[in-house]
Structure 1
Amino acid sequence: MTSTTLDTAGGGAQRRLDPSKVAYQRPQPAGMVPDIFLAGALALDDDPSWVPQAKDVWFKPLVLNVTQGFYVNILKVQKSGVLSRHRHFGPVHAFTLRGSWHYLEHDWVARAGDYVFEPPGETHTLVVPEDAEGMITLFHVTGGYSYVDPQGEALGYEDVFTKLEAARRHFEAIGLGSGHVDQFVR
C-alpha cells in the first residue's frame, strides 16, 4: 500500500495520508442518477410517506425505478387475514422487519429477520397469521404482479407505475404536492 502526501500549509509541510481514507477523487459516470438516502425509513408514526393501499395496509416507497421496471417499498399490515393472491412477472426479494406472514401455498412462516426469494411466475396467497400483530416487510419487486382468483384468472395488477400513481395521489391529497414522490423516482 502506498501513501499519499498532503501539503497542509502551502509552505511545504507535508504529512502522509492513508489512501484508504481518502474519498474517491474522480467524477462519477456521466448520466448516473443520484443516490437516494432516506433517514428514518422505518419511522412508523406521523410519517406522511406511508401510502394507504387498503384498509389497515400501507406501503412506503423507497425506490420507484420507472426506467428498469422495479420498486422497493416497505409494506405495513396492521391486521391479520388474507391480504392478496397474486402472480409475479419478475423476481421478488423480501426481508421481514417486524411481525410475521406466510403464503397459503408454502409451509414456512416469515418472521422478523427472515429473507424470502420469490421466483418469476409464482402465484401465492399472502396471509398475516391470526396470532401476529401485523407485519412490516421490505419488498424489492421487479416487473410487477397480477392479482388473481383461486383459478388464476386475472383481477388486476400492480407495478412500479401503479405504485407511483398511488403515491402521487396520496401526497397531493395530504398537501405535500404530487411532486413529493419525485424523490423516490429513478
Structure 2
Amino acid sequence: MGIIPDLLVANAIPQDERIWVPQAPNVWFRPLCLNITHGYWVNLLRVRKSGILSRHRHPCPVHALVLKGRWYYLEHDWVAEEGSYAFEPPGETHTLYVPDDVEEMITLFNTNGAMIYVDPDGNAVGYDDVFTKIEMCRKHYEAVGLGANYIDQFVR
C-alpha cells in the first residue's frame, strides 16, 4: 500500500517516430521516467547533427550511458563513446559537442534537479526541469495524435 506502480518501458528505443519529442533542430528526447516527487527525469537523447548541442550546468548530479555514437564536452579531454558511462558533478558548466562524423548519437541521461542553459560567460539564459519536460511532451504528443495524456504513463 502506498507504493507507486512499477514502470517498464519495453521499447525504450521506439520504432514510432512520434514518441521522440523535438527539443531543437535535429535533437529529440524520449522520456522514460519523469519523477515529479523527486525532481528528476530519465530520457534518451537523440542527436542527428554535429556541433554544439548546449552549454549548461546542473545543481545536482547527472548520469549518462552512451548507447550509440559519441560525444564529448569541450571543457574535458575525454570522449563518451558507445558503451561509456559519464558522471557529471553538480555545479560544473560544460558544452556538449557531437563530432562531425557521428550520424546519430543516442545517450541515456538521468538528470536530477534542472538543466540550466548558460551563455559563454556562465549567465543563465534558460532551464529545463521535470515539469518543463512534461509540458513539452504534452504539447508534442497532442500535436502528433498520441494525446496529451500519453506522457502520464512515464510520470511518477
For the criterion TM > 0.5, the same-fold answer is yes
**C-alpha separation in 2, matches of 1:115 and 1:103:** 14
**C-alpha separation in 2, matches of 1:83 and 1:41:** 22
Does 1:185 find its partner at 2:155?
Answer: yes
Per-residue Cα deviation, 1:50-83 (whole angstroms, up to 9, x for no partner): 1010110000000000010000000000010000
**C-alpha separation in 2, matches of 1:133 and 1:108:** 20
**C-alpha separation in 2, matches of 1:39 and 1:154:** 37
Per-residue Cα deviation, 1:90-118 (whole angstroms, up to 9, x for no partner): 10000000000000000001010000000
Identity %: 62
TM-score (norm 2): 0.97
**Structure of greater Rg:** 1
**C-alpha separation in 2, matches of 1:46 and 1:37:** 17
**C-alpha separation in 1, matches of 2:5 and 2:18:** 23
Residue number in structure 2 paired with 1:161:
131
- Size of the aligned set, in residue pairs, is 156
Q: Which amino acid aligns with 1:89?
A: P
CA shift, 1:145, in A, is 1.7
**C-alpha separation in 2, matches of 1:121 and 1:85:** 13
Q: Which amino acid aligns with 1:140?
A: N
CA shift, 1:42, in A, is 1.4
Per-residue Cα deviation, 1:120-167 (whole angstroms, up to 9, x for no partner): 101100000112123100000000121001110111001101110000
TM-score (norm 1): 0.82
Does 1:122 find its partner at 2:92?
Answer: yes
Correspondence for 2:111 among 141, 151, 173: 141
Q: Which amino acid aligns with 1:121?
A: G
| Aligned CA-pair RMSD | 0.9
**C-alpha separation in 2, matches of 1:184 and 1:141:** 15
**C-alpha separation in 2, matches of 1:61 and 1:105:** 27
Q: Which runs of 5+ in 1 are unaligned?
A: 1-29
Residue number in structure 2 paired with 1:106:
76
Residue number in structure 2 paired with 1:36:
7
Per-residue Cα deviation, 1:9-67 (whole angstroms, up to 9, x for no partner): xxxxxxxxxxxxxxxxxxxxx21110111112113x43321101011000000000001
Residue number in structure 1 paired with 2:58:
88
Moved over 4 A (4+): none
Q: Which runs of 5+ in 2 are unaligned?
A: none
**C-alpha separation in 2, matches of 1:107 and 1:88:** 20
**C-alpha separation in 2, matches of 1:63 and 1:49:** 14
